Amino acid sequence: MMDKFGITPSQLKILRYLQTYYKKKAYMPTIREITSAMGFTAPSATVEKLNSLQKKGYIERKKNEARAIKIL
């Protein structure tokens, strides 16, 4: 189910986590940290959701860089 902004509840949960994490630490979490915080069993689930958020214009990610997520 998506909200009026085209984002699923799990994508929104990740987006909020990213915002909170960045406010506390001034840098973004790793894929593994996001996976653990969301309770996913595999990093691929996290990557899939991050890819969706990027396609929808909520975040920007740089390939081959650690902690390279930017909230737009």
Q: What is the pLDDT of residues 26-70, one digit of tens each?
A: 999 999 999 999 999 999 999 999 999 999 999 999 888 888 999
Spatial CB neighbours of 52, under 8 Å, sequence gap ≥ 6? 8, 11
Q: Cβ distance 22 to 71 under 8 Å?
A: yes
The pLDDT value given to residue 4: 57
Q: Cβ distance 72 to 60 under 8 Å?
A: yes
On the question of pLDDT at 7 being above 80, the answer is: yes
Q: Cβ distance 30 to 20 under 8 Å?
A: no
Q: Is the pTM of the predicted complex or chain greater than 0.85?
A: yes
The pLDDT value given to residue 1: 57
